[in-house]
Structure 1
Amino acid sequence: MNVHLTIHGRQGLAGQIYRQLRAGVIDGRLAPGERLPSTRELATQLGVSRKTTLDVFERLVAEGYLRSRAGDGTFVAEEMTRLAPRPPRAALLRPPVELWESLPDALPMPSRDRPPEFDFLGGVTDKALFPFDQWRRCVSHALRVLARAPGGYRDPAGEQDLRLAVSRYLAFSRAVVCNWQDVIVTQGAQQAIDLLARVALRPGDVVAVEDPGYPPARTSLLAAGATVVPVPVDGDGIVVDRLPAEARIVYVTPSHQFPLGMPMSLERRLALLDWAQRHGALIVEDDYDGEFRFEGRPVESLKSLDQAGVVAYVGTFSKTIFPELRVGYVIPPAPLGAATRRAKQIGDRHSCTMTQTALAKFMLDGYFAKHLRRMHKEYAARRALLRHALQHELSPWLTPLPSSAGIHLVAEVRGADPAAEAMVIARAAAAGVGVYGISGMYVASRSRPGLLFGYGGIGTDGIRAGADRLKTALGRLPS
């Protein structure tokens, strides 16, 4: 026998020997027909009892890996020839569908082995500010509820308490009036967009998206087989007059346009709703961080203005709590409700019941509202500090764009040099500052060099020190 067996400690000896012998048969180190030492000989070699090796051999024989011949010994079963290693065959499996190989990366942001010292990454939150003590009580409550409940699968649309909490929250904060039965809980906003694409699109259907826009949404729609048409945005939002007449879905971020940051004006919202009604199109409203508004009066959600039932409202807890939670929701128009629920059921049956139950208690007991108020105050201070730095210390190189909501700001890089964005990012990275370009978020429109500064995950001290470090790094660039 040319397989080496190693014993570690004196616990689980039979299991250790069994796993090593079985692995030797499967990977071909023990060839079909090869004779093994007797149980007595193997026991002596390994320093274990004969009963241990006898039990292992009997198990391997029972499972078909070994064959015992009376008076002759124990051999590797000849049937194991089908497990013998074969030379790789490139065409053994069909290649993946071409679509999946051609899809772009969801977010055109560089990956780093180590995060920079001062990281202005967008879309993240500061978990140090989250009330984990209260969350633990909610999780403990959820565990008690699950312990008392019979095992089984739950409603694909989500737990009733969470759907009720979401409907109440939206009615109060976003003027989205709906029944709790209309809410479908998803694995973040990304799954909500994917579900809507599944039920509302046929392969080849035209979908309109903002340009620049949110790459993961665009990629999800491409994956659904849609023909995605980028539509330019201006200071009022998506340019409705440029929408393709055949579009079946229009995806927009009206509360805080991603990435540029401006809200869609009321006049443009009404024009978009009118266009969708005339063309029979579905509007997907992604309200990804509309909770955080810092200037002016609250802007009506498209869903709150929708009288014809053409808007699907998508929300997420990734920006209000933290992304790892993976909880979002969608309120589709009534005709799409049953199909969206069915698509959710087919996709993953339902989202995590424990997380939903904990989050429902977190909201219904008032912890969520208190957390939002605290975070709004904190983010307002971070935003003010970052805007001041962009308008003053960094103004020779950067010009901030108007923005009244959300947890990121965008600043254009001064000058028309297309390479200026990459140059600033490289200089910042060398100085330990993480900033992120927006040119990769454009598709057809002429991109403008710019940087996205997220302040959800970096505190005021980090913003101040990061801005000083960036100013020093850019000091030798021409203004």
Structure 2
Amino acid sequence: MDDLLSGLLDLSRQSREPLTRELANHLRSLIAGRRLRPGQRLPSSRTMARSLEVSRNTVTLAIEQLAAEGYLSVARGKRPAVAESLSLVTAKPVREAKSPSPKLKMSRLKMSSWARSLPHTNWPPVYPERPRAFQPGLADEREFPHEIWARCLRRTASHALRQRDRGPNEARLQQALLGHVTEHRGIRAKPEQVIVLPTAQSAIALIASVMIEAGDIAWIESPGYGGALAALRAANADVIGMPIDADGLKINGKRKKPRLIFVTPSHQYPSGGLMPIGRRLELLQFASRNGAVIVEDDYDGEFHYDGRPVAALAALQPDDATIYLGTFAKAMFADIRAGYLIVPERLAPTFALAQRHLGLLVAVALQVALADFISEGAYRSHVRKMTRLYRSRRDRLVAALTAETKLAVDVPAGGMQLLARCKPSIDDAALSRDLRKSGVVARPLSEMLYHRSRERGLFLGFAAWNHAEIEAGARVIGRQMR
């Protein structure tokens, strides 16, 4: 046995790996590969150390590690033995610890149909390089009052440590948010109806988990928000893309009746259109008649430039028909990782419980800091400042695109991005790829269509870019199109 082990074990003195770990890996591999069988005894630690020309302490530590893992059994006065209870009928030899290969095949592990579909979707768009014009959905972090925000975080950090036994939704933030949405969006609710979540995407996933059964019909706008499509499909909903017109989602009574309707009425995503009051009331009445819930995504409703904003759907019919979704990522900065829902009162306990079950929690310190930021007026002041700035940037981008290109621009009444339409004959996906190589991000409209359509265009964010960056980006688009 002594000679057998010395022949089987080959310790490298040049490896950076400690000898104890290397020896344990070798022995583990021999046992897993059935070169050493259950019940078979190993040499004593003294004999093994002498045979391998290592210290006895090295051998002892390796054996203790394998005994702790269940590979070996040790008893006082006896040599260590391979554990009798070890079942390795189907096991394969364990190789020495190395970095996992990126080509590791997982064919034996069956994934869900949803997981298998992920590589073939266009969501979410990934921009690994630094942000560049005209990446949509980004606020201008250069203009954010970082010092005021940092002061809120510092002040609330110690306070948050004393709130460990509180629920996941901080009461101070619930109250502050309600004050804000009541004043600016006309929504009236109770604090417990506010559910604070890490992101808008996690909020849609939570809604789908609570409200959708497999096979339920869900309507989304087409073109529309890819995140809603992804979350609803993950819940095994039957998602139908509903075409939009100048007033927003067109209600089609001939379609299968939906369980859920996802809309962006303040600034339609991606066209930027504002759903007028007539279409809003029509949508609410349709949902009420058919027992459907409306998810109102007010993702950038803070920024309105032309006239006064129309009241939120949740304000027009405050009953079980509407769930309001908001986020801080657009008004403040992308990495804040905080959004919220205002849910119907009778559903609030269920949503709060589901929130805990799914672990969709926001740090208490962040919630308290947000409450202070809103209550002290810093949030309102920042939104007011950025509304003026973003309006000027919208106008500059519209002017630059008009001068440099033949794109037909849908001028949004508010928001942070716009849609520039091109001829149906143009391959907007190929154009988007070419622009990316030239340093400009422009999402193709065709990737946001969920019904048959020949519409083509570019989705361009303007909020995060100053006038010089906007004009330079427009020139790139013009050159590329020419």
- Aligned pairs for 1:255-270 (under 5 A) are 255-270=266-281
Q: For 1:229-282, what per-residue CA distance to the aligned partner results, in whole angstroms no more than 9, with x for missing partners? A: 221110011112457362121111000101111111111111111212222221
For the 8 Å contact 1:18–1:60, the answer to whether it is kept is no
Gaps of 5+ in 2: 1-5, 95-103
Q: What is the CA-CA distance between 1:428 and the residue it aligns to?
A: 2.0
Instruction: Work out the CA distance in 2 between the residues paired with 1:383 and 1:282.
Output: 33
The match for 1:142 is 156
- Aligned pairs for 1:234-245 (under 5 A) are 234-242=245-253, 244=255
The alpha-carbon distance between structure 1 residues 457 and 433, as it changes in their structure 2 partners (threshold 3 A), is same
The match for 2:199 is 188
Corresponding pairs, count? 460
1:416 pairs with 2:428: no
1:407 pairs with 2:416: yes
Instruction: Work out the CA distance in 1 between the residues paired with 2:121 and 2:386.
Output: 28
Moved more, 454-463 or 260-269: 454-463
1:367 pairs with 2:384: no
- Aligned pairs for 1:85-164 (under 5 A) are 85=92, 92-93=108-109, 95-102=110-117, 107-108=122-123, 111=126, 114-115=129-130, 118-149=132-163, 151-152=164-165, 154-156=166-168, 158-164=169-175
Q: What is the CA-CA distance between 1:350 and the residue it aligns to?
A: 3.3
For the 8 Å contact 1:232–1:445, the answer to whether it is kept is no
Instruction: Work out the CA distance in 2 between the residues paired with 1:7 and 1:77.
Output: 31
The alpha-carbon distance between structure 1 residues 38 and 307, as it changes in their structure 2 partners (threshold 3 A), is closer
The match for 2:465 is 458
| SS in structure 2 of the partner of residue 433 of structure 1 | coil
The match for 1:274 is 285
- Aligned pairs for 1:27-46 (under 5 A) are 27-28=29-30, 32=36, 35=42, 38=45, 42=49
Instruction: Work out the CA distance in 1 between the residues paired with 2:141 and 2:394.
Output: 18
The match for 2:479 is 472
Instruction: Work out the CA distance in 2 between the residues paired with 1:439 and 1:453.
Output: 14
| SS in structure 2 of the partner of residue 121 of structure 1 | coil
| SS in structure 2 of the partner of residue 320 of structure 1 | coil
TM-score (norm 2): 0.84
The alpha-carbon distance between structure 1 residues 423 and 199, as it changes in their structure 2 partners (threshold 3 A), is closer
For the 8 Å contact 1:281–1:310, the answer to whether it is kept is yes
For the 8 Å contact 1:212–1:259, the answer to whether it is kept is yes
| SS in structure 2 of the partner of residue 385 of structure 1 | helix
The match for 2:436 is 429
Percent of aligned pairs sharing the same letter: 31
- Aligned pairs for 1:49-60 (under 5 A) are 54=60, 57-58=63-64, 60=66
For the 8 Å contact 1:286–1:315, the answer to whether it is kept is yes
Instruction: Work out the CA distance in 1 between the residues paired with 2:429 and 2:105.
Output: 42
1:379 pairs with 2:390: yes
Instruction: Work out the CA distance in 1 between the residues paired with 2:400 and 2:474.
Output: 7
- Aligned pairs for 1:314-393 (under 5 A) are 314-348=325-359, 350-393=361-404
For the 8 Å contact 2:24–2:63, the answer to whether it is kept is no
The match for 2:101 is none
Instruction: Work out the CA distance in 2 between the residues paired with 1:468 and 1:346.
Output: 50
The alpha-carbon distance between structure 1 residues 134 and 43, as it changes in their structure 2 partners (threshold 3 A), is farther
| SS in structure 1 of the partner of residue 111 of structure 2 | coil
For the 8 Å contact 2:190–2:345, the answer to whether it is kept is no
Q: What is the CA-CA distance between 1:120 and the residue it aligns to?
A: 0.9
Q: Which amino acid aligns with 1:386?
A: L
Instruction: Work out the CA distance in 2 between the residues paired with 1:464 and 1:263.
Output: 26
Q: What is the CA-CA distance between 1:441 and the residue it aligns to?
A: 0.9
Q: Which amino acid aligns with 2:369?
A: A
The match for 2:219 is 208
For the 8 Å contact 1:236–1:268, the answer to whether it is kept is yes
The alpha-carbon distance between structure 1 residues 348 and 109, as it changes in their structure 2 partners (threshold 3 A), is closer
Gaps of 5+ in 1: none
Q: What is the CA-CA distance between 1:211 and the residue it aligns to?
A: 1.2
Instruction: Work out the CA distance in 1 between the residues paired with 2:383 and 2:170.
Output: 22
For the 8 Å contact 2:31–2:82, the answer to whether it is kept is no
| SS in structure 1 of the partner of residue 408 of structure 2 | strand
Q: What is the CA-CA distance between 1:456 and the residue it aligns to?
A: 3.0
1:446 pairs with 2:441: no
The alpha-carbon distance between structure 1 residues 110 and 366, as it changes in their structure 2 partners (threshold 3 A), is closer
Q: What is the CA-CA distance between 1:450 and the residue it aligns to?
A: 0.3
For the 8 Å contact 1:106–1:216, the answer to whether it is kept is no
Q: Which amino acid aligns with 2:269?
A: F
Instruction: Identify which of 238, 256, 259 aligns with 1:227.
Output: 238
Q: For 1:215-237, what per-residue CA distance to the aligned partner results, in whole angstroms no more than 9, with x for missing partners? A: 11022112212222221110011
Instruction: Work out the CA distance in 2 between the residues paired with 1:231 and 1:306.
Output: 23
Q: For 1:426-453, what per-residue CA distance to the aligned partner results, in whole angstroms no more than 9, with x for missing partners? A: 4423422221101111111414110001
Q: For 1:79-120, what per-residue CA distance to the aligned partner results, in whole angstroms no more than 9, with x for missing partners? A: 667295269997754x2232443468664576455458x431
CA RMSD across the alignment = 3.4
For the 8 Å contact 1:283–1:311, the answer to whether it is kept is yes
Q: What is the CA-CA distance between 1:148 and the residue it aligns to?
A: 3.6
The alpha-carbon distance between structure 1 residues 68 and 352, as it changes in their structure 2 partners (threshold 3 A), is same
Instruction: Work out the CA distance in 2 between the residues paired with 1:36 and 1:189.
Output: 61
Instruction: Work out the CA distance in 2 between the residues paired with 1:34 and 1:84.
Output: 20
Q: Which amino acid aligns with 1:344?
A: Q
Instruction: Work out the CA distance in 2 between the residues paired with 1:380 and 1:43.
Output: 80
Q: Which amino acid aligns with 1:122?
A: P
| SS in structure 2 of the partner of residue 456 of structure 1 | coil
The alpha-carbon distance between structure 1 residues 441 and 43, as it changes in their structure 2 partners (threshold 3 A), is farther
For the 8 Å contact 2:173–2:370, the answer to whether it is kept is yes
